[in-house]
Amino acid sequence: MIQLTATPASALVDEPVHIRATGLSPFQVVILQASLADEKGNLFHSQAYYKANEAGEVDLQQAPSLGGDYIGVHPMGLFWSLKPEKFLMKLVKKDVVNSPFLVQIKLYDSNLQLTDIATTAPKVSLTLERWYVAPGVKRIQVREGPLRGTLFLPPGEGRFPGIIDLFGGIGGLIEYRASLLASHGFVSLALAYFNYEDLPAQPEKTELDYFEEAVNFLLRHPKVLGPGIGIVSISKGAEIGLSMAIHLKQVTATVLINGPNFILGIPQVYHGQISKPLALSPQSLSINALGLAEFQHSFEEARREASETSLLPIEKAQGHFLFIVGEDDKNLNSKVYAEQATQQLSRYGKNNWTLLSYPGAGHLLEPPYSPLCCASEISSLHLSIHWGGEVTPHAAAQEHSWKEIQKFLRKHLVPVVTSQL
């Protein structure tokens, strides 16, 4: 009898699952398919062909996919190769606490026509729960003064390293990365800064005082270890994260994922002092063959003409930096910007940085096993944007960088206690 097993059947989305099929004929070729529906009912699916061994087993930790959405030995390939049925759709978890994503794994005969899969019953199937929050993590809505966001507290006694989680130019409140970091022992503040509740829909400036208030709010919390906090940031959020590290001595560990080393779009204001953005060059915007906008060269003309003073003075930061770069980023020329920032630090005799650069990875680097979103529609811009990335190397980058982010944050936020003899 054919059996399909997956261990564990319920886990965090960044945890691997061991999938096995048994009871097959020796050397039988089968199709394994994964599918899920997001909270709006949008469907995502993936599939791969596998050949059983002489014992009639397919073990995804050892068996290579022969074809389909990926090729080779990839135990979690069915998860990170999930693709939307509707083009330009990104998989996003809104309610991180009350429900998991349900992933169905199905096994079919390989002689089945792909067009018939939707109307054919699988030989065997199972359903997995993929959670964005661990048991015991508390979610607290933050509406303190001007601050808007969500605080996630890890379970257990004692104090934990604190981080602020910043996303980019789509705005709103995005919680799934902060909830996962809390599941791994960080007090995490998912911070909204525009297009949410009573925050401006399209702000005319970035007020760094708001982010300073968020840092002080976090450090006042009795569960936060202190004396410093960390930042995890991407894209426009990384511009703000970099500025926070420069201006706020309480920021001691900053993760910058595919961000600029200058100010994007709108001015920054801190304690009344205005810093101007670099101008976007509309003529440098590219539209590819699929009609997707690519912005990665849109600031090059301004950068060439700008003086060194137009770049953020990263050398003034007291804390440490982890730059994470997808080399196939089509939205920002992020590898060049990160290299320029690290060269700037080196010129000032600083070695407080690490640069991780991933060939084939795109702009939207997410927690492990998240599907690649290579393009999506941004309604506020009335554009469909190409984010870049190739499925397999992007997945490898996500898995590696997530571990490095947590190691980096712990190293610089958790004091080392040395015993005194």
Active site residues: 235, 329, 363
**Pick from 412, 9, 12: nearest CA to 184:** 12
Residue ranges of E strands in 54-193 = 58-59, 67-68, 83-84, 101-109, 124-131, 138-144, 147-153, 162-166, 187-191
Cβ contacts of 173 within 8 Å, gap of 6 or more = 148, 149, 150, 190, 192, 196
CA distance linking residue 119 with residue 131, whole number of Å: 29
**Range 141-144 contact pairs with CB under 8 angstroms and sequence separation of 24 or more:** 142/189, 142/217, 143/197, 144/217
CA pair distance 17, 99, nearest whole angstrom: 19
C-alpha span between 324 and 394 (Å, rounded) = 12
Inter-residue contact 20 to 107 (CB < 8 Å)? no
Spell out where 239-371 has E strands. Answer: 251-257, 268-270, 273-275, 286-287, 293-294, 320-326, 353-358
DSSP E strands, 267-316:
268-270, 273-275, 286-287, 293-294
Helix, strand or coil, per DSSP, at residue 365: coil
> Residue 69 corresponds to which tokens in the numbers above?
């959405």
- Alpha-carbon span 232 to 181, nearest angstrom: 10
Determine how β-strand 124-131 pairs with β-strand 43-51.
unpaired
Contact of 134 with 12, CB cutoff 8 Å:
yes
